[in-house]
């Protein structure tokens, strides 16, 4: 067959295949146009799940009469005029394909009025980009797009639509997510003439929290912390859920880049890393976060539906997100006036973490000790009961404990007398079942899992000393030659200092060969060859890697578990109070190393409710 040009309507229908997947796709494109028109109020009317009617009205700037035919033509837009504009996109839509694509698979009417005009003008479109005949209309300032009978002329596409309930659920979820990106705009959503959602513009912090609570649930706000972090020209703001407020699915994760809702692997990886050692296994964090950066640093033209973006400085963005979230979670300590952890769902059933070596005395506040370095050679202290059978430790943990014990001088445990003054975690009054510390505060009572809390205290101290000091390293008797690609060998040579600071001596010995000569003491029994390969792969994909740190932390967490106070070991009042004081100074103290809660609080109001006092 000879080469020929396709009819305009068919071209637009092909484009619609990428842009218009279902009714919610139409809603997304049209609401984003409302954003670009500087609207402060948007009304979305839906009938039959969007298959019958999608009508979206805004009070924005409107479109002049002469531009209405262009608005319904391919590659016509007011948002970009040059390649430079395309590289600095600040609008939500810019391709100029949405309206002609939508009109090619529906019966579309566009009505618009600009400020000061005598009347509005109305045009009908069918995707052919011909026969436009603007007619006057009494429409107020702003724009209305009326989309009827979606996919009426493409029956195969219409057959793929789900039930009315399902299609509308997609639309409702979409509007809720878009409402979390633009607090300055009011939203009204109706389905079959019934009002489903009504959100007023939210300009104050309280109003914004109310909107988030209305969409994500009040429990989200009660169990989250607001963040506002800026560095290197990047700004991250929003809310992140406490680690103990997690979900089994990734259904409450909203991330926006310059106001655009996106799904991005780099972002997901950074968030996952930030929550790594505070989240219960198999759970997912919840968050509403907005990243603002120079439009030149992000490519929003990487996906037809603009659901994905490409960062020009991926490593910078990844490190910024990780640091901001990691720091925010680390700063969550008792006394910050946060609501107490509460899970919206029951966590999955898993095997409990076994208590390890029994009968170690609690590691108390060592601020007055002769030195502040960690001491892992605790002096055993037993209660009146016979000590339980001591479990044998894994060889790697034994070696790690010996390595650290040899690095730092020993000192005796310190029992500190505690003044009866106001403290966030109160003062201990009992040790329940030789497991839980009962503490009294001016506002109620607190229960602490002594082993879990002490495990976090020990773990954070080990990490701090491991990261701040010279990493103990040992040379290999026989250096390991690792075959890699030329690109990986180049990277290993380039990142030589990075590996060196983590205890690895890694040199290049050929175009596709690197030689490992020394490794950290902590990773003696680890498959270091595979670890190095994985780290190089991470750096190539994400621009950085925390795999070595994570592996080291994994072993340090095990060391901390085996070095912490055991369950069923009776603690004195002084020991319990010393642990409470340590908790108040420890980062990420709300969870143990396995993501389990370390403490909970019952206020006097909660206690009164139990006994119907004041009712």
Q: How confident is the model over 535-580, as pLDDT tens digits?
A: 888 777 766 666 667 767 776 676 667 666 766 678 889 989 999 9
Q: Hey, what's the torsion of the CAs at 536, 538, 542, 546, to 10 degrees?
A: -110
- Going by pLDDT thresholds of 50, 70 and 90, the confidence category of residue 327 is confident
pLDDT at residue 369 in the model? 34
- pLDDT tens by residue, 429-450: 999 998 999 999 988 999 999 9
pLDDT at residue 389 in the model? 38
Query: Is 412 a residue whose pLDDT tops 70?
Result: no
pLDDT at residue 469 in the model? 61
Say which range, 165-174, 373-382, 485-494, has the weakest mean pLDDT. Answer: 373-382
**Would the CA dihedral through 526, 532, 538, 539 be positive or negative?**
positive
Distance from C-alpha of 180 to C-alpha of 197, rounded to nearest angstrom: 13
> Of 379, 28, 47, which is closest to residue 192 (Cα–Cα)?
47
Angle between the N-to-C axes of helices 205-216 and 164-179, in degrees from 0 to 180, rounded to the nearest 10: 160
Q: How far apart are the first and last CA of the chain?
A: 86
pLDDT at residue 546 in the model? 67
Domain limits of the chain?
Answer: 8-199, 205-330, 355-472+547-615, 473-546
Q: Considering the domain 205-330, what is its CATH architecture?
A: 2-Layer Sandwich (3.30)
Range 322-351 average pLDDT: 60
**Would the CA dihedral through 41, 163, 93, 213 be positive or negative?**
positive
Phi, psi of 550 (to 5 degrees): -65, -40
Range 28-40 average pLDDT: 93
Average pLDDT, the chain: 80
pLDDT at residue 131 in the model? 76
- Any idea what DSSP says for residue 38? T
Query: Is 199 a residue whose pLDDT tops 80?
Result: yes
Distance from C-alpha of 338 to C-alpha of 18, rounded to nearest angstrom: 45
Q: Find out if CATH 3.50.50.60 is the number for domain 8-199.
A: no
Q: Which fold is adopted by the domain 355-472+547-615?
A: formyl-coa transferase, domain 3 (3.30.1540)
Query: Is 225 a residue whose pLDDT tops 50?
Result: yes
User: Burial of 367 by CB count in 10 Å (0-12 exposed, 13-18 middle, 19+ buried)?
Assistant: exposed
CA separation (Å) from 429 to 219, 283, 390, 448, 545?
A: 31, 34, 29, 12, 45
Say which range, 109-123, 394-408, 440-454, 466-480, has the weakest mean pLDDT. Answer: 394-408
> Of 594, 470, 491, which is closest to residue 534 (Cα–Cα)?
491
- Going by pLDDT thresholds of 50, 70 and 90, the confidence category of residue 79 is confident
Q: What is the 3-state secondary structure (H, E, C) of 103-163?
A: HCCCEEEEEEECCCCCCEEEEEECCCCCCCCCEEECCCCEEEEEEECCCCCCHHHHHCCCC
Specify the pTM: 0.69
Range 30-39 average pLDDT: 94
- 377 against 107, higher pLDDT: 107
Query: Is 353 a residue whose pLDDT tops 70?
Result: no
Q: What is the percent of the chain where pLDDT is above 90?
A: 37
- Going by pLDDT thresholds of 50, 70 and 90, the confidence category of residue 305 is low
Say which range, 274-283, 318-327, 359-368, 571-580, has the weakest mean pLDDT. Answer: 359-368
Phi, psi of 238 (to 5 degrees): 135, -145
Query: Is 69 a residue whose pLDDT tops 60?
Result: yes
Distance from C-alpha of 562 to C-alpha of 382, rounded to nearest angstrom: 16
pLDDT at residue 299 in the model? 83
pLDDT at residue 555 in the model? 66
Pick the CATH number of 473-546 from 1.10.3710.10, 3.40.50.300, 3.30.1370.100, 3.40.640.10: 3.30.1370.100
- 561 against 45, higher pLDDT: 45
Q: Are 388 and 319 in contact (CB under 8 A)?
A: no
- pLDDT tens by residue, 169-181: 999 999 999 999 9
């Amino acid at each position: 067959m000879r080469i020929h040009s396709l009819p305009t309507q068919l071209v637009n229908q092909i484009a619609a295949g990428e842009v218009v997947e279902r009714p919610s796709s139409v809603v997304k494109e049209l609401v984003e146009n409302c954003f670009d028109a500087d609207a402060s109020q948007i009304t979305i009317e839906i009938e039959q799940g969007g298959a019958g009617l999608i009508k979206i009205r805004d009070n924005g700037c409107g479109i002049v009469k002469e531009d209405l035919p262009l608005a319904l033509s391919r590659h016509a837009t007011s948002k970009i005029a040059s390649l430079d504009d395309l590289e600095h996109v600040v609008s939500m839509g810019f391709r100029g394909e949405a309206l002609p694509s939508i009109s090619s698979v529906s019966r579309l009417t566009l009505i618009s009025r600009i400020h000061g005009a005598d009347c509005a003008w109305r045009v009908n479109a069918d995707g052919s980009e011909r026969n436009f005949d603007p007619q006057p209309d009494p429409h107020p300032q702003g724009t209305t797009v009326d989309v009827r009978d979606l996919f009426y002329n493409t029956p195969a596409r219409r057959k793929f639509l789900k039930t009315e309930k399902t299609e509308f659920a997609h639309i409702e979820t979409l509007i809720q997510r878009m409402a979390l990106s633009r607090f300055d705009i009011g939203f009204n959503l109706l389905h079959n003439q019934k009002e489903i959602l009504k959100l007023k513009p939210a300009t104050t912090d309280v109003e914004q929290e109310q909107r988030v609570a209305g969409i994500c649930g009040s429990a989200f706000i009660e169990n989250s912390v607001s963040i506002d972090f800026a560095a290197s020209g990047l700004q991250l703001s929003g809310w992140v859920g406490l680690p103990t407020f997690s979900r089994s699915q990734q259904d409450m994760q909203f991330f926006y880049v310059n106001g655009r809702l996106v799904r991005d692997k780099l972002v997901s990886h950074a968030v996952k890393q930030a929550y790594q050692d505070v989240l219960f296994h198999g759970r997912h964090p919840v968050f509403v976060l907005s990243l603002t950066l120079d439009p030149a640093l992000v490519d929003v033209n990487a996906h037809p539906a603009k659901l994905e973006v490409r960062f020009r400085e991926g490593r910078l963005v990844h490190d910024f997100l990780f640091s901001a979230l990691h720091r925010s979670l680390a700063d969550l300590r008792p006394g910050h006036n946060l609501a107490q952890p509460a899970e919206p769902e029951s966590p999955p059933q898993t095997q409990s973490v076994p208590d390890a070596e029994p009968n170690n005395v609690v590691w108390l506040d060592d601020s007055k000790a002769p030195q502040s370095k960690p001491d892992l050679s605790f002096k055993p202290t037993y209660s009146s009961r016979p000590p339980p059978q001591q479990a044998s430790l894994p060889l790697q943990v034994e070696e790690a404990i010996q390595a650290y014990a040899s690095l730092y001088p020993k000192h005796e445990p310190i029992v500190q007398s505690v003044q009866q003054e106001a403290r966030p975690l109160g003062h201990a009054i009992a040790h329940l079942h030789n497991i839980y510390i009962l503490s009294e505060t001016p506002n109620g009572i607190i229960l602490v899992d002594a082993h879990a809390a002490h495990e976090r205290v020990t773990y954070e101290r080990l990490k701090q000393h491991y990261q701040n000091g010279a990493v103990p390293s040992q040379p290999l008797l026989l250096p390991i030659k690792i075959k890699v690609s030329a690109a990986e060998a180049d990277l290993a040579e380039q990142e030589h200092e990075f590996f060196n600071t983590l205890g690895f001596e890694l040199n290049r010995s050929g175009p596709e060969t690197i030689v490992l000569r020394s490794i950290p003491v902590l990773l003696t029994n680890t498959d270091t060859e595979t670890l190095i390969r994985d780290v190089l792969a991470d750096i190539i994909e994400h621009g950085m890697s925390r795999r070595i740190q994570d592996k080291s932390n994994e072993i340090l967490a095990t060391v901390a578990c085996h070095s912490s106070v055991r369950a069923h070991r009776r603690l004195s009042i002084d020991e319990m109070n010393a642990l409470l004081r340590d908790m108040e100074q420890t980062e990420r103290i709300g969870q143990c190393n396995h993501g389990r809660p370390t403490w909970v609080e019952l206020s006097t109001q909660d206690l009164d409710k139990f006994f119907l006092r004041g009712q």
